[in-house]
């Protein structure tokens, strides 16, 4: 790895109690270029803009995919990644689906660790605080030709994060728009998936909702995901979540929730969820909770579902009663080294830079 440390660290301007998530970037970033059929050197360089042509294929034809993951600091200042190998596997799954070159484990994991290590001071401490990390791959070839590109960049950037979306939200069950289609790219973290979701989300917001529950493209009869989260439903004391598929992203938080729920002895059923069953359960009072999970928010609890122009209210459970909150706390405790890690999910980021 080629390391070029910044001579103008911005850390003294960073106020961990007052910063804007997603707009504040740490001092460094990782970049690596792909050309002539192979990846070049991984470089750790000062964070900053790069120069590309508007004819860059990544922006014209959408060959671009990314990951979202976090690093956490415990009360002793130790830094941990959470299941980073899952993100490594998933970025390559996305890259493959978009006909882009896969990255090596060394590029991804060593790059990640080196970046988090050198900028560990940027990781805010305390409840709900973390560093959100964005690895991405995009086509950089300058060519207006609708074909697979020959040049790419792998990059990792990161922004300090705090918990957001803490209030319960209301979500509209989509009866027209879809996030993904059979044979499409729903299971990839393709940049274009997000672009396609913004307009329907805007419409739902205009109708007074915060988010959308995406349903299947063929019938709109089954739950798929919610916003940029996987979705869970609790009817009586059973938790349901749809199986992952080519239309549903295989979320790291989803998988962790399933395992944590089983560890607690909760009944979990990974099976298709019918909209009409959820609506019927709301009407007969057996629908206890619906929530979304993902790296950025961990959990968002829903307070109402919009269906056929009707707002269906969900019960307000206490934190002790809510499986969503219990499992969220289990997960956050594990991520931040407040609890045992029987699964081996935490990965300590050593102080390695001195030896590089
Ligand atoms: C569409 C979509 N579904 C689900 C998730 C949750 O995945 P994860 O738990 O790996 O963050 C995300 C966020 O990354 C997402 O963008």
Mean pLDDT by 10 residues, the chain (356 residues): 97 93 96 98 98 98 98 96 98 98 97 98 93 98 98 98 80 97 97 98 97 97 97 98 97 98 98 98 98 95 96 96 97 96 97 57
Q: Is 54 part of any domain?
A: yes
Q: What pLDDT is recorded for position 127?
A: 86
Evaluated on CA atoms 274, 280, 286, 287, the torsion sign reads positive
Exposure on the CB side of residue 8, measured as CA atoms within 13 A: 3
Domain CATH for 102:
3.30.470.10
- Residue 255: count of CB within 10 angstroms of its CB: 16
What's the CA gap between 267 and 134, in Å, rounded?
34
Cα-to-centroid distance, 204 and ligand 1 (Å): 20
What's the CA gap between 38 and 102, in Å, rounded?
10
What's the CA gap between 67 and 90, in Å, rounded?
8
Residues 30 and 73 reside in one and the same domain = yes
Q: What pLDDT is recorded for position 119?
A: 98
The token duo for 145 is 């030709």
- Residue 340: count of CB within 10 angstroms of its CB: 9
Residues 68 and 118 reside in one and the same domain = yes
Quickly tell me which residue has 């959470």 as its tokens: 82
Percentages of the chain per state (helix, strand, coil), in multiples of 5 = 25, 30, 45
Domain CATH for 263:
3.20.10.10
Residues 7 and 155 reside in one and the same domain = yes
Cβ(292) – ligand 1 distance below 6 Å: no
Q: What pLDDT is recorded for position 351?
A: 83
Cβ(252) – ligand 1 distance below 6 Å: yes
Residues 231 and 308 reside in one and the same domain = yes
What stretches of 21-112 adopt beta strand conformation (E)?
Answer: 28-35, 38-39, 43-46, 64-66, 69-73, 79-82
Cβ(249) – ligand 1 distance below 6 Å: yes
Residues 11 and 119 reside in one and the same domain = yes
Cβ(251) – ligand 1 distance below 6 Å: yes
Residues 219 and 253 reside in one and the same domain = yes
Q: Is 333 part of any domain?
A: no
Residues 27 and 67 reside in one and the same domain = yes
Q: Which residues contact 304 (CB under 8 A, 6 or more apart)?
A: 170, 171, 311, 312, 313, 314
Q: SS3 for 217-233, per residue?
A: CCCCCEEEEECCEEEEE
Quick one: DSSP state of residue 75? T
Residues 206 and 309 reside in one and the same domain = yes
Q: What pLDDT is recorded for position 164?
A: 67
Q: Is 175 part of any domain?
A: yes
Cβ(224) – ligand 1 distance below 6 Å: no
Residues 175 and 290 reside in one and the same domain = yes
- Residue 33: count of CB within 10 angstroms of its CB: 16
What stretches of the chain adopt beta strand conformation (E)?
Answer: 2-3, 28-35, 38-39, 43-46, 64-66, 69-73, 79-82, 130-139, 152-161, 169-173, 211-215, 223-226, 229-235, 238-241, 267-270, 287-294, 298-307, 310-313, 346-348
Cα-to-centroid distance, 254 and ligand 1 (Å): 8
Q: Tell me phi and psi for residue 291, to 5 degrees.
A: -150, 160
pTM over 0.85? The answer is yes
Q: Is 327 part of any domain?
A: no
Cα-to-centroid distance, 192 and ligand 1 (Å): 14
Residues 142 and 178 reside in one and the same domain = no
Nearest Cα neighbor of 169 from 22, 12, 290 is: 290
Q: What pLDDT is recorded for position 353?
A: 58
Q: What pLDDT is recorded for position 163?
A: 77
Residues 150 and 179 reside in one and the same domain = no
Number of domains the chain contains = 2
Q: Is 336 part of any domain?
A: no
Q: Measure Cα distances from 156 to 67, 110, 180, 288, 335 in Å.
A: 9, 11, 26, 40, 21
Considering only CA atoms, which residue is closest to atom 5 of ligand 1? Answer: 229
Q: Is 335 part of any domain?
A: no
Cα-to-centroid distance, 225 and ligand 1 (Å): 9
What's the CA gap between 84 and 86, in Å, rounded?
5
Q: Is 326 part of any domain?
A: no
Cβ(188) – ligand 1 distance below 6 Å: no
Domain residues for the domain of 155 are: 2-162+345-355
What's the CA gap between 269 and 283, in Å, rounded?
21
Quick one: DSSP state of residue 243? P
Q: Is 340 part of any domain?
A: no
Residues 188 and 147 reside in one and the same domain = no
């Amino acid at each position: 790895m080629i390391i070029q440390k910044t001579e103008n660290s911005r850390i003294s301007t960073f106020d961990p109690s007052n910063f804007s998530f997603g707009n504040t970037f740490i001092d460094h970033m990782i970049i690596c270029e792909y050309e002539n059929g192979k990846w070049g050197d991984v470089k750790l360089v000062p964070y900053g803009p790069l120069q590309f042509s508007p004819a860059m294929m990544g922006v014209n034809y959408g060959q671009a995919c990314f990951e979202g993951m976090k690093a956490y600091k415990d009360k002793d200042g130790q830094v941990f990644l959470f299941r980073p190998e899952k993100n490594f596997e998933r970025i390559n799954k996305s890259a493959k689906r978009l006909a882009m070159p896969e990255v090596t484990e060394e590029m991804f994991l060593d790059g990640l660790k080196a970046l988090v290590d050198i900028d560990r001071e940027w990781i805010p401490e305390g409840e709900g605080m973390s560093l959100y990390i964005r690895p991405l791959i995009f086509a950089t070839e300058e060519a207006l030709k609708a074909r697979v590109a020959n040049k790419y960049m792998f990059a990792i950037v990161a922004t300090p994060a705090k918990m957001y979306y803490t209030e319960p939200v209301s979500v509209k069950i989509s009866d027209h728009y879809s996030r993904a289609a059979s044979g499409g790219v729903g299971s990839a973290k393709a940049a274009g998936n997000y672009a396609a979701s913004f307009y329907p989300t805007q419409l739902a917001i205009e109708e007074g909702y915060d988010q959308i529950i995406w349903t299947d493209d063929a019938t709109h009869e089954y739950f798929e995901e919610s916003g940029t989260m996987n979705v869970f439903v609790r009817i009586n004391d059973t938790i349901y979540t749809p199986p992952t598929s080519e239309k549903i992203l295989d979320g790291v938080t989803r998988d962790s929730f399933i395992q944590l729920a089983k560890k607690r002895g909760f009944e979990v059923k990974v099976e298709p969820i019918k909209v009409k069953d959820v609506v019927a359960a709301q009407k007969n009072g057996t629908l206890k909770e619906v929530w979304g999970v993902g790296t950025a928010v961990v959990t968002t609890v829903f307070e109402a579902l919009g269906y056929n122009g009707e707002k269906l209210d969900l019960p307000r459970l206490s934190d002790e009663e809510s499986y969503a909150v219990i499992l969220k706390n289990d997960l956050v405790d594990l991520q931040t080294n407040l609890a045992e890690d029987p699964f081996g999910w935490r990965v300590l980021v050593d102080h390695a830079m001195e030896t590089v």
